[in-house]
A and B are shown apart, each in its own frame.
Chain A
Amino acid sequence: MSRPKRPSGPRAQTPVVEDDLHAFVDGALDAARRKEVQDHLDRDPEAAAMVARFAAQRQLLRSAFAPIVDEPVPERLRLQTLLAQRRDPPAWRWRMAASVLVALGAGTFGGWQMRDRWEPSGGIAALAGEARSSYLAYASDTAAGPSTDGDREGDRERLLRLVSDKLQRPIEIPDLSAAGYRYAGGRLVATVHGTAGLFFYERADGTRMAVMLRPMAVEKEAPMMAQSQGEVGGFTWAMRGLGYSVVGTEKPGVLHPVADEVRRQARERAAIQS
């Protein structure tokens, strides 16, 4: 199709060209010009058919790609996450500098269903945020995984001693083999509310999840709460002064039974100890 330029001059004399048909389809014409083009289409069935095809095509494209904008934005693409990463040194630099990393408090990451704005500072909502940011910092990146190897008994014992020492209480690594998760290693993580132990688990298909434990200064007893934001979700609670958070990218339906199992084992140990 030839594409003549629209000549300049008074509007009433401006012929309708192909660009006008596209602009009509895209709603890019002002009301006066739109009326002129509409009048032209009423007289020119060929142009009208073309406009109808292009309008249908436009609608087809829009509806084909519409589902993407309705999806939740992944955590790593959220503005708050990206801004927080700029404010604080990138995790990889920290990993090189030190094995103990200061996890960001829950308040740093927006969008939590429960925030410590109205929760006591350092409570389970904060723990949920810490578990989540630690998980994002370590577990999502295989290269930055656990500082100890779950397969090596010496590593495991050393980590347990370290964690028990720092958390000032005997800590056990939950056994989640019944749920299909193999202990893959762990590390100490410093949070703004104290040191925490972070244990990683892996399923046969490579799916990872983690359990975080830290002493609770407030909310020493708290029922299990569900958390989810972006791709990472989990369950957090507190018992006898110790907070627990089970985090991962699996669906709540997968993580919930795992959290129940961690809680059951903790209760069992508590019953033995008392």
Chain B
Amino acid sequence: MTGKTDTEKTSVLITGLGVISAAGAGMAMTLESFRRGERNAGAVSLFTTSLECPVFEVRQIPSSFIVEKSRTLSLALCAVDEALSSASLGDLTRLRVGVSIGTTVASQLNDLEFYRSYRQSGDAPMEVVDRYLKGNIAEFIARRISARGPALTVVNACSSGTDAIGMAFSWLKNGLCDIAVAGGADELSLVPLCGFSSLGIVNQSLCSPFDRDRRGLNLGEGAGILILETGASAKLRGKSSELRILGYGASADAYHLTAPRPDGAGLEASLDKALAEAGIKPEEICFVNAHGTGTTDNDLVEGKVLGRMFGPDLKVLSTKGFTGHTLGAAGGLEAAFTAAGLSEGWIPSSPGFRNKDEEIPLTPVREETMIKGRYALSTSLAFGGNNAALVLGKL
């Protein structure tokens, strides 16, 4: 079992990080934005909509990463490039590299104009279909970076990014590849905006995760990518890293298509599994980057479980106040932010939190907070009752 007593053979290192979101393009810019407490939300500008709510759009994707009419792929390429660079990886053709990426929007053939055309005329442009067939995100990234190991796209709704990292973790532990490009990517799209609005969980103002007066989520977009690597592979190419993935846990609620299980048993089970795989106790966790969407139900269930397991003094935050809910990208971005928090020794204030909810036995951090400790958690809860957790370590 991998864990804090890991060996070079079984350890899974994080040797690179790449992020892009409304908080910034690149980790350095993002951390500066976090320090300043910036919340770069605004009205939808990417498409025409009658829905009025703040969203967290990426202001500019560097032109070298633009894939025509495939914003999710563009975001992913940008984050992958930063992650590979920070891992000092160039030519991958002679390495055993896997690609495991979560998404939601990019997995669906949901082009409104294509469908409108089909409805009206019985015909529609096949370029849209071609783009879709070439755009399975894991297959696309694998082709683009010449990764020849396993490639699989995870479509587990809002836990996709976390589950993708967990899947890559299994690949590496079992020798399917030596290096994995893992995380999530998603673009802001009209379809989920309409869908989440219809569910009544989109906030008309900025989200406030875990706050007493929270009124829902803000949608966002972005990509978060981790380069995971076996200790042996990193050693072979002279790369070292203090950051590790130590444990992954996932559990189903088996309860409801959209609502979390009220007792949080599924989330608790996923946390238990992740901690057990990491070989650490709850009291060794120094902070949790929570799913924290800002919806009534999610934050209540998640807050209760985290409070129950880790106690009221747990340092907890939700970075969705900086990025919005980026759906399939969320787990990738938040794992990257968690890794950065461990590495940097500080976490930002949990944006939007003002008033404690007496039903939630936790108080998110209200200011930039120094971190002393070696282990942290990133959690995801999803449509369909998926719960997933990652334990990251700094050894």
Judge: A and B partners, yes or no: no
